[in-house]
Amino acid sequence: MAAQVLGKALVSSKWLAEAVKAGRVGAGLRVLDASWYPPQERNARQEFKESHIPGASFFDIEECRDKSSPYDFMLPSEAGFADYVGQLGIGNDTHVVVYDGDKLGTFYAPRAWWMFRVFGHRQVSVLNGGFKNWVKEGHPVTAEVSQPTPAVFKAKLDKSLLKTFEEMMENVGSKRFQVVDSRPEGRFRGTELDQGLESGHIPGAVNIPFQSFLTETGHEKSVEEIQQMFHDKKVDLSKPLTITCRKGVTACHIALAAYLCGKPDVSIYDGSWSEWFHRAPPEYKVSEMKRNKA
């Protein structure tokens, strides 16, 4: 399986269950629940306290971010990330496995996966199928919260995996890299509101909704299927590629999918539509709704 060769970008429930049973979750292997839900719908931290994979810690995406930014979930500083994950018992040699409890199977876990990678950590994997399938397959859960021994983590930002607003603006004219938008089609086209924002997309972007990379059970599709999806949208995986979405979360699904196909250098536009909508000039926001009004 290609995922196993590529630094184990995905691990199966069976693999992780065997690691849990063998007592390997500890200093060398840390498991993180990176769940996040709209507060009015579910309480991720409370659900973690009630039921999680044995030995797991809660990775709070609301805490591990740049709180000074006006945009959601922007990357923290190197020092901020290093301190946060160090408190979770993660060092530079730790293999990290991330998952979440979303009903889709996986939603926020790829964001945590990418965050580790953008800060220079390569031994990080996503639990294929997420917590939903872990439970469905009958693997153990616990309410016992582990207390990991703090570790030293040294973070170094890999700017090649990150794109800024200025770089995205420049690319509209230069087309130095391909841009894929992972939001649902209606939000990409501008025919429905995007979580309260007028929607639309960056000029030249191609739309591949992130959910299309998941099977009905919530597992990642096969490498062959993923390659075909990129091919159908005329996305060339041999050329530079940047992914955008609403707030830099679901974009990471496509970075993970491309990684499984042997492309580890996909960058994320961290500000995504949240920033683009507020900062880009009107002519740089493509929207069918606006055209129809005109």
Q: Which residues are catalytic?
A: 245
State the DSSP H helix or E strand holding residue 179, giving kind and residue range, or none if neither.
strand 178-181
State the DSSP H helix or E strand holding residue 58, giving kind and residue range, or none if neither.
strand 57-58
Residue 119 CA to chain centroid, in angstroms?
A: 14
CA atoms 156, 152, 106, 10: torsion sign: positive
Q: What single-letter amino acid sits at 90?
A: I
Q: What single-letter amino acid sits at 9?
A: A
Copy the structure tokens of residue 244: 């955008």
110 neighbors 126 (Cβ within 8 angstroms): yes
Helix ranges, 10-52 (H): 13-21, 44-50
190's CB contacts (< 8 A; 6+ apart) are: 198, 199, 200, 201, 286, 287, 288, 289, 290
Looking at residue 260, what DSSP letter applies? H
